[in-house]
Amino acid sequence: MSGAAPKPTLGYVGVGLMGGPMVARLVARGWTVRVFDLVPERLHAAVAAGAQSAASPADAARGAGLVLLNLPTTDAVEQAVFGPEGVVSAIQAPARVVDFSTVEVERGRGFAARLRAEAGCGWVDAPVSGGPPASAAGTLTVMVGGEPEDVEAASVLWPEVGARVTHMGPPGAGLAAKMINQLIVGCTHAVLAEAAVMAESAGIDAARLPECLAGGHADGTLLQRLYPRMVAREFAPQGYARQLLKDLELVSAFAGALKSPAPMAGQALSLYRMLIRLGHAELDTSAVMKLYEPPTGPHPDQEETP
């Protein structure tokens, strides 16, 4: 009688807003996870959740069947994998790297080729959407790029992290899909801020719009989950404004390389550049609402619901 295949040990590099909740879920579901992060507080929180501490990315990768990355920038991914004490110095075939980070498409493809050449290991780009709550619940949307055998090798992980996992094609295809996701997300943030200000200016109860528009063409996850935070001026980060700016910069560069027109992306990019310039990099992405406020704050006709 054969039992279930044993779960591979996981190495995990980057346990911030997205990686931290995912690690906690994986540990709770019986996975052995060795974690590394440059920020001691994040590392301590992951260990408190039951993960094992690693001294470097190489240490996290040593003996792991899958090495997971959840990092803020393309340069951070390159440093974690190919820098001193990087993953490449310890990973051994047939292990794979699964990168949940949002990085430059062409550089991401290059990382996959370089890891194959230097270590004989496969790379799967698997950027996600859904935010920290979905990361904690295992209900992320995962956009996957990679060779079929590498994606299959990582498939033991997919039910643990995603409600929807779509293999879009070879290395880089998941990242290309994420560029399109962030194009839609970034532009929608700006539109929702404008909608909130317009509703307040019109003297209607802006907080009731998600209820009012539910089921119509304007409905969606961002209307139901992000818009209420804008109306309430709740800007504690569930996703950093600086990260959405970074993503929109990537979208703009990607569109430019393709010579694909993206005027709306350009508008959203300009707004987030202004937001960060005003000192709001560490606030939630919903803080774009601040750009629409008059100097005295919310519209004077806006009143709290009794």
Q: List, for residues 182-231, the tens digit of each pLDDT value.
A: 999 999 999 999 999 999 999 999 999 999 999 999 999 999 999 999 99
Q: How many percent of the chain have pLDDT more than 70? A: 95
For the chain, which domains are there?
A: 10-169 (3.40.50.720), 177-292 (1.10.1040.10)
98-127 burial, b if ≥16 CB within 10 A, otherwise e?
bbbbbbbbeebbebbebbbeebebbbbbbb
DSSP 7: P
pLDDT value, residue 293: 86
Q: What's the mean per-residue pLDDT of the chain?
A: 94
Q: What is the DSSP string of 134-153?
A: HHHHT-EEEEEES-HHHHHH
Query: pLDDT for 75-88, tens place per residue?
Result: 999 999 999 999 99
Mean pLDDT of 1-28: 88
pLDDT value, residue 181: 97
pLDDT value, residue 304: 41
Q: Is the model's pLDDT at 284 over the cut of 70?
A: yes
- Name the band, by pLDDT with cuts 50, 70 and 90, for residue 294: confident
Q: d(Cα 152, Cα 155) in Å, to the nearest integer?
A: 5
The answer, yes or no, to whether the previous bond of 170 is cis (omega within 30 of 0) is no
DSSP H/E element including 99: strand 96-99
Catalytic one among 178, 246, 259, 290? 178
Mean pLDDT of 135-154: 98
Measured in residues, the chain has a length of 306
Strands (E), 136-225: 140-145, 162-169
Residue 100 CA, chain-centre distance (Å), reads 7
Q: Is the model's pLDDT at 296 over the cut of 80?
A: no
Whether residue 178 lies in the annotated active site = yes
Q: d(Cα 167, Cα 63) in Å, to the nearest integer?
A: 26
**In contact, 26 and 138? CB cutoff 8 Å:** no
Q: What tokens appear for 185 in the block?
A: 């997300």
The answer, yes or no, to whether the previous bond of 94 is cis (omega within 30 of 0) is yes
Residue 154: closest CA among 64, 79, 71? 64
Q: List residues bridging with 144 in a β-sheet.
A: 167
Query: pLDDT for 33-78, tens place per residue?
Result: 999 999 999 999 999 999 999 999 999 999 999 999 999 999 999 9
Q: Is the model's pLDDT at 301 over the cut of 60?
A: no
Q: How many percent of the chain have pLDDT more than 90? A: 93
pLDDT value, residue 254: 97
pLDDT value, residue 5: 64
Going from the C-alpha of 223 to that of each of 26, 184, 207, 220, the distances in angstroms are 29, 13, 11, 5
